[in-house]
Amino acid sequence: MNDLFDDLMQLSRDNGMLGKGFLGVALVITDIARAEGLPIDLTTLMTSGGGQVRGTGGDRVRRILSEHGIDRRLSSEGGRTSRGTPAKAMAYAKFLNERLSPDGSQLAGVMQFWIARVQDYFASKPFVIKLDPALGITATIRELIGQVQDRQRETAGSTLVGTVIQHLVGAKVEVRLNIGAGQVARHGASVKDDGRRTGDFEIGDTVIHVTTMPGQLLVEKCKANVQAGLRPIIVTGADRVTFAKTMMSDGGFEGRIDVFDYEQFLAANVFEMGRFEASGRREAFAQILDRYNSIIAEVENDPGLRIELS
């Protein structure tokens, strides 16, 4: 099967099949092979006009993606994407006919190959933050994190939400305090904590811990912060604020450690930096995202973590 995947990847690269325009077509042709068997009838693969693969369309592509746990839209145009699509479609169908056994036993693996390429495509796209005048700033941030949550669900074992929130907080702190890039310690969110870090960010006598899942390790770190004469702050999700406060109270730190909802932690400064004006808020977001994207480029290996301002 590995040889088949290697050949599929070579075919895809040689024929430009890894873009959004052809990925949906590949899914549909593979689905046709599953439904109708191999070999694929090349004389009926295309519509009568010759410009579109038979049976392609946004609904079918969405159905295939949904079967594999992907609820995002790949393309609304189905197979009618470019002049080069028919030639690519025929090349791919011929590959399946020549390379796969007639019993179709390898088609499930082939479909998984294309699903993985779709996931790669989605993962390479930056997130987008839209400033809708009808939405509050916290709702805007929530919508952004919703995009991250969607991608995280599609990528088993990933911790994208925590990564994005950590670097947004770091970027906001740098911009809000008007300090140079890198003056707040930066590290990849996936870098293992060996216990020597006091927290995610240390500024003055304050240590900021950014987490989506506060636990006992956080209690121990805050305890060490207090013993060292530092003031810990916890930034977490709105649904975890009460839990984090309870943990701190149970650990003997009731009233001594501030816990913030990250949406409000970010939104309050956007309002202040923007001087409570619409144009100012957009400029504040632009500054924070510019700093955020520079952090992503410096310490993360996934360019798909970038955020664009729409």
Give the tens place of pLDDT for each residue, 184-243. 655 555 554 545 568 889 888 999 999 999 999 999 999 999 999 999 999 999 999 999
Q: Are residues 177 and 283 in the same domain?
A: yes
Domain co-membership, 62 together with 135: no
Q: Kindly indicate the confidence band of residue 76, based on its pLDDT and cuts at 50, 70 and 90.
A: very low
Helix (H, G, I), strand (E, B) or coil at 206: strand
Pair (86, 185) in one structural domain = no
Based on the structure, what is the number of domains in the chain? 2
Structure confidence at residue 222 (pLDDT): 93
133 and 281 inside one domain: yes
Domain that holds residue 26: 2-124
- 283 and 262 within one domain: yes
Whether residues 81 and 153 share a domain: the answer is: no
CA distances from 288 to 146, 160, 281, 300 (A): 19, 18, 11, 17
Tell whether 135 and 284 lie within a shared domain: yes
pLDDT at 141 over 50: yes
Residue 119 has what pLDDT? 87
Tell me: do 27 and 160 sit in the same domain.
no
166 and 43 assigned to the same domain: no
Overall average pLDDT of the 288-292 stretch: 95
Last residue in a domain, options 124, 148, 171 = 124
User: What order of strands is seen across the sheet that includes strand 231-236?
Assistant: 201-203, 206-210, 231-236, 258-261
Domain boundary at 91, 124, 157, which?
124
Residues 234 and 161 in one domain: yes
56 and 134 share a domain? no
Q: What percentage of the chain exceeds 70 in pLDDT?
A: 90
Domain end call among 124, 146, 170: 124
Give the C-alpha separation, 127 to 147, whole Å: 7
pLDDT at 78: 45
pLDDT value at 258 more than 80: yes
Residues 120 and 134 in one domain: no
Residue 309 has pLDDT above 70, yes or no: yes
Q: Residue 248 has what pLDDT?
A: 93
Q: What is residue 80's three-state secondary structure?
A: coil
